[in-house]
Amino acid sequence: MEVMQIDSKNLKNKVRDEFKRRFKKEPMMVHAPGRINLIGDHTDYNLGFVLPAAIDRGITLALANNGSDCCSLVSLDMGEEISVNLNEELRPINTGWANYILGVMQGLRSRGLELIGFDAVFGGDIPIGSGLSSSAALECAAVLGISRLMGNEISNRDMIHIAQKAEHDFAGVKCGIMDQFASVMGKSNQAIRLDCKSLQYEYLPIELEDCSFVLLDTKVSHSLGDSEYNKRRAECMEGIAIINRKYPQAESLREVSMEMLDNSKSEMSDKIFQRCLFVLEENSRVIRAGNYLKSGLSKEFGQLMFSSHEGLSRLYDVSCQELDLLVEEAKKLDPIYGARMMGGGFGGCTLNLIARRGKEDSISQLRSSFIKAFGREPGIYEINIEDGARII
Ligand code: GLA
């Protein structure tokens, strides 16, 4: 059974060596992590609660000034390079990965920072489309690296907002704030309980008794940009608009109680009702899960993960058969306390909370069931919780 191991030192050397080979100078090195989300999906853009953590996989970026008014941007993994003329307006282009960096450059510019020419090379060890936020990691590495290179210290808050806006404006995904927040603010061995309305947060040590988190990757690659994600967001907005007829003071689903939703039920379609119901229930699960995490109650925490998945699959309709199968099989295995799809959905990974004693067996059973059903290998990743974006 192949459990992918991470060699972050190797990634740093690989990116730096490639930079030096191409540009013949010593670069500044930045790393920004991907994230898992323990619980609380599709709640962030509804201004609710999430519980993410930064992981030991991410994007490493090498960059240095070049004294010109052009930039060369290189993706090591895609084997592609683009050139940007800083005298021209920055706009989204057809090269997907470049848009995350261009969006960040535009964000810095619109905050009054003057961009001067630089070269950049990046690489990563987050499987793309696995729901671990490789795009947020790239945006956050870019915003930290480029702002520092231009001699500007911007606040974490600003970095997070610039990165999120890059995703909105240059990648066309109207994401919430969770991924960028986790990538910038992550802390080793801690989850972040974040209130997406006030942006108040609290670090919660991940100390679930004798358990660890393991990811099973369906390798069904989702494309959030393919509009289903934005559609869910629009459906929630439709829900709140209907609720506002009776309760004009509610700005988001965050301010809606079960009673308010029930009172508006007759005015909305079943679909819109289900979307809203899921968000209300998921918010309440995040609050409870945070408390279980504080008390180290693994089984109770795990149960909430299972119900989160159920809601994401049945009410919010963002799962797929591969994710559902992995969660159904996990339910049958005693040492697995909880499992759920994670992130935007339509593919990617399940997050599994597994008791250490039966870990190996459980993973190999999940793997066999997956191979039996779909005739191919799932990815299996053990992860550690790490610090957020930093100069390395
Ligand atoms: C994606 C988005 C996040 C969040 C999750 C779902 O990862 O980028 O903002 O909405 O989906 O929880």
**Enzyme catalytic residues:** 179
pLDDT band at 343 (very low <50, low <70, confident <90, very high): very high
pLDDT at 187 over 60: yes
pLDDT at 225 over 80: no
Dist. CA 183 → ligand 1 center (Å): 13
Averaged pLDDT for residues 203-228: 85
Per-residue pLDDT tens digits for 292-314:
999 999 999 999 999 999 999 99
pLDDT at 285 over 80: yes
Mutate to test the pocket of ligand 1, among 100, 161, 175, 318 (most ligand atoms within 8 A of CB): 175
Count CB-CB contacts under 10 A for residue 329.
22
User: What is the DSSP code (8-state) at residue 4?
Assistant: B
pLDDT band at 223 (very low <50, low <70, confident <90, very high): low
Percentage of the residues of the chain whose pLDDT score is greater than 70:
97
Q: What is the pLDDT of residue 330?
A: 98
pLDDT band at 3 (very low <50, low <70, confident <90, very high): very low
- Residue 224 alpha carbon, nearest atom of ligand 1: 1
Mutate to test the pocket of ligand 1, among 178, 252, 317 (most ligand atoms within 8 A of CB): 178
Alpha-carbon distance 305 to 40, whole Å?
9
Q: Is 217 in the pocket of ligand 1 (CB under 6 A)?
A: no
Q: Is 343 in the pocket of ligand 1 (CB under 6 A)?
A: yes
- Residue 229 alpha carbon, nearest atom of ligand 1: 11
Q: What is the pLDDT of residue 224?
A: 57
Q: What is the pLDDT of residue 226?
A: 64
Q: For residue 362, what are the CA distances in angstroms to 89, 332, 358, 366, 375?
A: 53, 10, 6, 6, 19
pLDDT band at 128 (very low <50, low <70, confident <90, very high): confident
Those residues with Cβ within 8 angstroms of residue 39's Cβ, 6 or more apart along the chain or in another chain: 50, 51, 282, 285, 286, 289, 304, 305, 308, 340
Per-residue pLDDT tens digits for 237-264:
999 999 999 999 999 999 999 999 999 9
